[in-house]
Amino acid sequence: MPLHFKFLLMKIIFLYFFSLVSFFSANSQIEGYKITYVNFNDTLEPGGLKFTNTVLTDGSKSASYKLPYEMKSPGMHTITTFDGKKKFEYYSEKDTLKVYVFKNFEENKLFFQSEYSFLMKESKTYIDSLYPFKWMFINEKRTSGNQMLKKATMRFRGRNYTAWYNESIPIANGPWKFGGLPGLIVEIYDDSFQVYWKLTKFEKSVEKLPEFPSFINESFADFKKLYKENFFKVKKSIESINAQDNPDCKNCATTTKTVTDSSVELLTIEGF
């Protein structure tokens, strides 16, 4: 066989095997899921802004983040809710920044980034417990579309929660820090409906998860301590100003304003 034919044959074989390896490498990528929740439905519209909570998971890890419903640029926008209502909502620059909750199921770890607020001017990453919930399984079922849902309840950091989950989707996950049930959480809310998340979309995805944090030393206890310090400083300042009489108004009644903690985790309450 002429030498140039040998080189040509070797080149063809090399390209074939290279293509084969590339094919299997591309198709060996773990298929994951993209799960979307909203914090309202057609019969429940909390007073707060409308958000989505998106969960990306590949089975061993997940990362979730919250963004405005009908995501747009910061400013005043008109949004449409499930029942066709239109309303104005204002989103600040910080409302449109992704703040993550990271879950590592293989290492049994959870990391969360603190949300921006008038109490927390910057976002930091803290380590927390993964699924510390003490779920109570309730002998109650209901259907949602073609899904059969089961009920579970628990108390977590100052709030009582009810969750409806789907055992036919064997993913022990949910929005935010929630999870640990024998099926995907479809709906979860506290008894005051200040916290509410409902599943609206479940789809296959190859979207890559963001890079997970490492070497995080600050804990939930550190976050809680900082939050409480900032909260009580602001509370004292606001309440002291509101308690002052107006010396220029003889007939004006003194008005006072009480500042209360409305965070998802009631961080100013002792006992957890």
Q: What is the 3-state secondary structure (H, E, C) of 72-97?
A: CCCEEEEEECCCCCEEEEEECCHHHC
Phi, psi of 62 (to 5 degrees): -150, 155
What pTM does this model have? 0.78
What CA–CA distance (Å, rounded) separates 105 from 107?
A: 6
What CA–CA distance (Å, rounded) separates 86 from 217?
A: 44
Domain boundaries of the chain, sorted by first residue: 29-226
Closest CA to 172 of 113, 103, 225: 103
Greatest CA separation for the chain: 113
Per CATH, is 29-226 categorized as 2.60.40?
A: no
Per-residue pLDDT of the chain (272 residues; tens, 9 = 90+): 454 434 433 443 333 333 322 332 333 344 799 999 998 866 665 566 788 999 999 989 999 999 988 777 888 888 776 667 777 888 887 778 888 999 999 999 999 998 766 566 677 899 999 999 999 999 999 998 889 999 999 999 999 999 999 999 999 999 999 999 999 999 999 998 889 999 999 999 999 999 999 889 899 999 888 888 878 887 777 777 755 555 555 555 555 667 777 788 888 876 66
Residue pair 192/223 in contact by the 8 Å Cβ criterion: no
Residue pair 111/64 in contact by the 8 Å Cβ criterion: no
